[in-house]
């Protein structure tokens, strides 16, 4: 089965083709830069830009330079149905369902976070079930026990800002631009963690929930304390990155101990972070736990993970009914099982 995937939940238009026999064929992404001057995503501008970019990218991804697949060879359309920005989701849903209708093939709305947590399945070395998933993106930070596709138990999640959001907001305070994660990672290379000391939030008490808004406040206080020289910015960035990574690693280690799971899947935009990948890799070695990461370009929002998750569900016979729905809020635990 060959599936076209469409991701428009936030500020990336991601389009891809996944084939259950041939694997991941091609993906294209357009990351909206128009939010740069606002320091954050402006929902209405995001929706309008998805309208401009989605169909041209679909044409391109199906063209000879990419998947080389005609519409007639596509067996299903998967689009992100939630969670995300309502207007942005509606663009992908409307286009995805219209294409499926015109091509007389089924469509399916995919949960964005399910896409992320299955994204390591796009790589040659795929994790077997069950596994622990650490999802850390711009909108979510969570640990989940994954028994099978659609069988997710949330072990802990952020009670306020997501890790990626904290990177973005702190980068803005430091004058480092958007998106903040890569900017802070870059700036941290010239800095020294530990020159200032930021908290490792909620690690001193039991439980697997996260809280990152205090780190943003610590960053704001450090910015206000002394004039912002380049070396001061680098030291703040380094300590901020270290604090986020320490916190994620401590909670991941705790969740592994609690569940006894032997595989760890790390996904979402923040999992592109080199320090996080290295530290979790070392944690895995220490405990005999195998770690799986998507390649960095598939960590952030993309169409390939949506095509994959949709393909698995379409193969199991699931598909959209006539009702049209985008779900800005949607829990991972509300999904139907696949083949269960």
Q: Which residues bind Mg ion (CB under 5 A)?
A: 137, 301
Residue 120 binds ligand AMP, judged by CB under 6 A:
no
Contact (CB, 8 A) for 318 and 335: no
Choosing from 80, 137, 141, 170, the residue that interacts with ligand AMP (CB under 6 A) is: 137
- Eight-class DSSP state of 126: P
Nearest distance from C-beta of residue 245 to ligand AMP, angstroms: 9
The count of residues in the chain is 340
| Binding window for ligand AMP (CB under 6 A); candidates: 76-84, 165-173, 196-204, 215-223 | 165-173
Among 127, 138, 303, 310, the residue binding ligand AMP under the rule CB under 6 A is 138
301 binds ligand AMP (CB under 6 A): yes
30 contacts: CB under 8 Å, gap ≥ 6: 12, 13, 53, 57
Q: From CA 192, how far away is CA 185, in angstroms rounded? A: 12
Q: Candidates 82, 269, 284, 303: give the one binding ligand AMP (CB under 6 A).
A: 269
Residue 179, interface with ligand AMP (CB under 6 A)?
Answer: yes
Pick out residues in 208-267 that bind ligand AMP (CB under 6 A). none
CB of 312 within 8 A of CB of 149? Answer: yes
* Cα–Cα distance for residue pair 160/181, rounded to 1 Å: 18
Instruction: Note whether 67 binds ligand AMP by CB under 6 A.
Output: no
271 binds, among ligand AMP, Mg ion, none (CB under 5 to 8 A by kind): none
Q: What are the angstrom distances between the C-alpha of 124 and each of 1, 57, 265, 294?
A: 18, 25, 14, 10
Question: Least separation, in Å, of the C-beta of 203 and Mg ion?
Answer: 25
Strand, helix or coil for residue 27: strand
Per rule CB under 6 A, is residue 185 in the interface with ligand AMP? Answer: yes
- The option from Mg ion, ligand AMP, none interacting with 270 (CB < 5 to 8 A, set by class) reads ligand AMP
Q: How far apart are CA 121 and CA 107, in angstroms?
A: 21
8 A C-beta contact, residue 293 and residue 259: no
Residues near ligand AMP (CB under 6 A), total: 19
Do β-strands 23-31 and 12-19 pair in parallel, antiparallel, or remain unpaired?
Answer: antiparallel
| Residue 82 interacts with ligand AMP (CB under 6 A): yes or no | no
Q: Identify the residue among 181, 191, 201, 303 touching ligand AMP (CB under 6 A).
A: 181
The entry of Mg ion, ligand AMP, none near residue 272 (CB within 5 to 8 angstroms by kind) is: ligand AMP
Smallest gap from residue 71 Cβ to ligand AMP (A): 28
State the minimum distance, in angstroms, from the CB of residue 165 to ligand AMP.
Answer: 6
> Could you tell me if 284 and 264 are in contact, meaning their C-beta atoms sit under 8 angstroms apart?
yes
Q: What are phi and psi of 141, to 5 degrees?
A: -135, 120
> Which residues are at the interface with ligand AMP (CB under 6 A)?
137-139, 164-165, 167-168, 179-182, 185, 268-270, 272-273, 300-301
């Amino acid at each position: 089965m060959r599936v076209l995937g469409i991701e428009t939940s936030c500020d990336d238009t991601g389009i891809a083709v996944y084939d259950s026999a041939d694997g991941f064929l091609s993906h294209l992404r357009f990351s909206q830069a128009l939010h740069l001057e606002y320091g954050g995503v402006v929902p209405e501008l995001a929706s309008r830009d998805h309208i401009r970019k989605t169909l041209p990218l679909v044409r391109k991804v199906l063209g000879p330079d990419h998947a080389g697949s005609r519409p007639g060879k596509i067996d299903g359309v998967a689009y992100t149905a939630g969670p995300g920005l309502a207007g942005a989701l509606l663009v992908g849903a409307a286009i995805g369902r219209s294409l499926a209708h015109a091509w007389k093939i089924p469509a399916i709305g995919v949960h964005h976070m399910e896409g992320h947590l299955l994204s390591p399945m796009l790589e040659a070395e795929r994790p077997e079930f069950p596994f622990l998933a650490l999802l850390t993106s711009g909108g979510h930070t969570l640990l989940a026990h994954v028994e099978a596709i659609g069988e997710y138990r949330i072990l802990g999640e952020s009670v306020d800002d997501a890790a990626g959001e904290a990177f973005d907001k702190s980068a803005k305070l430091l004058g480092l631009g958007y998106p903040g994660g890569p900017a802070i990672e870059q700036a941290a290379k010239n800095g020294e963690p530990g020159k200032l000391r930021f908290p490792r939030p909620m690690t001193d008490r039991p439980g697997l929930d996260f809280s990152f808004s205090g780190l943003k406040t610590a960053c704001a206080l450090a910015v206000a304390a002394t004039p912002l020289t380049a070396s001061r910015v680098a030291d703040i960035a380094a300590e901020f990155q270290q604090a986020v990574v320490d916190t994620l690693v401590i909670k991941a280690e705790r969740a592994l101990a609690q569940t006894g799971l032997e595989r760890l899947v790390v996904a979402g935009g923040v999992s592109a972070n080199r320090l996080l990948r290295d530290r979790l890799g070392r944690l895995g070695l220490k405990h005999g736990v195998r770690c799986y990461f998507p390649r960095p370009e598939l960590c952030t929002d993309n169409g390939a993970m949506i095509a994959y998750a949709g393909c698995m569900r379409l193969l199991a016979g699931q598909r959209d009914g006539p009702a049209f729905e985008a779900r800005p809020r949607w829990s991972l635990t509300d999904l139907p099982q696949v083949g269960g």
